Structure 1
Amino acid sequence: MASPAAPLVALPERSVFTMAKKNEMSVNIGISDKDRKKIAEGLSKLLADTYTLYLKTHNFHWNVTGPMFNTLHLMFETQYTELALAVDSIAERIRALGYPAPGTYKEYARLSSIAEEEGVPEATDMIRKLVEGQEAVVRTARSLFPVIDAAGDEPSADLLTQRMQTHEKTAWMLRAMLA
């Protein structure tokens, strides 16, 4: 990709990115240790964004009210179900690279570019906030391409492409609800 890489978060040595235990085999998939770590760090940001968006979408599914209730309730359910599957795919890719996937609210809050939702917005504000969240995930995914392309990590590139297509389409559908 031609876009410049967004700076990745440098994580402390004693973080989730400390390599696996001594008794585990090393990972030898044709990507350097340094590049695998950078990719895992970036994918962890994507995981945090995706999980935060999942929580926000699920929250809105439970709490939406108004004349669009049924339509939005069902739409949000479809979206959070897809996001739950995405969380698993992203976490498994991090594991395939040889690093533990972050899995706590504390880690997600630190890594995510999406703000946690406070209160219960009106239905149209929910839609706007979900558009913003979907687009934030796209930006995070897009920012990882330079390091992934440079490392020749095609599986991660494929995952990012799939995620971007899904989030761009979902953002479009949500925006159409506001027209």
Structure 2
Amino acid sequence: MSNVSSIMNAKSTSEDINTGLDEGFRKDISKTLSEILSESYRLMVKSHIYHWNVVGPLFKPLHELTEEHYKDLFEAIDVIAERVRALGNVAPYNINNASTFAPEGKDVENLTAIDMVQDLIAEHEAIARKMRDAAEKAGDNKDVVTEDLMTARLTFHEKAIWMLRATASE
């Protein structure tokens, strides 16, 4: 999705970090966090676009729910980037592919509220799977801060999935 590999090849901001985490692990988990950040950014943009464009009987609940989601995601993106920095790596800065984050206008015009919900659920589920793997990797390497961060973010995404499903149920 983004040029994460070239970003992660940048020299670490501090190779002398001695917090008990191996430098190779810090670089690897930072790459994973950068991918999660990118996917979170994409979901934030989609949630915002759907917030503006949802119509029909589900307008009010989805309009309000997507607003809650994009605001939460915006804050989370900052926290994830700051974790990458704390691990001694450069936070992602290349958004060349940002134009691919948003669905095409003609696609949005043809989406029903249910289509939007299904798309958002799929995005939340994909990020949740990646976060679960990152949390496990972090835990295996005694990186409790990243593990806790992923746990907190998983809590948000699983609740978002539940609420989206409940909103769109018949």
- Could you tell me the TM-score, scaled by structure 1's length? 0.82
Q: Which of residues 10, 16, 28 in structure 2 aligns to 1:18?
A: 10
Matches within 5 A, 1:24-103: 26-103=16-93
The yes-or-no answer on 1:117 pairing with 2:108 is: no
The yes-or-no answer on 1:144 pairing with 2:134 is: yes
Going from structure 1 to structure 2, the CA distance change for 1:64 and 1:152 (only over 3 Å counts) comes to same
Inter-partner Cα distance in structure 2 for 1:56 and 1:91: 20
Gaps of 5+ in 1: 1-8
Corresponding residue of 2:156: 166
Corresponding residue of 2:147: 157
| Offset from partner CA, 1:52-100 (integer Å, 9 cap, x none) | 1000001101111112212211111111001101101101100100111
Inter-partner Cα distance in structure 1 for 2:97 and 2:9: 12
Q: Which of residues 92, 117, 120 in structure 2 aligns to 1:127?
A: 117
| Offset from partner CA, 1:93-136 (integer Å, 9 cap, x none) | 001001111133236689xxxx7523212111001111111111
Percent identity, aligned pairs only, is 36
Q: Match of 1:52, SS?
A: helix
Inter-partner Cα distance in structure 2 for 1:33 and 1:65: 49
**Residue type of the alignment partner of 2:154:** M
Contact preservation (8 Å) 1:11, 1:17 = yes
Runs (4+) off by over 3 Å: 107-110
Which protein is richer in helix relative to its size?
2
Inter-partner Cα distance in structure 1 for 2:136 and 2:8: 23
- Could you tell me the TM-score, scaled by structure 2's length? 0.86
Contact preservation (8 Å) 1:149, 1:157 = yes
**Residue type of the alignment partner of 1:134:** H
Inter-partner Cα distance in structure 2 for 1:167 and 1:128: 14
**Residue type of the alignment partner of 2:52:** W
Root-mean-square deviation (CA), in Å? 2.3
**Residue type of the alignment partner of 1:11:** S
**Residue type of the alignment partner of 2:135:** F
1:145 is displaced (CA, Å) by 2.9
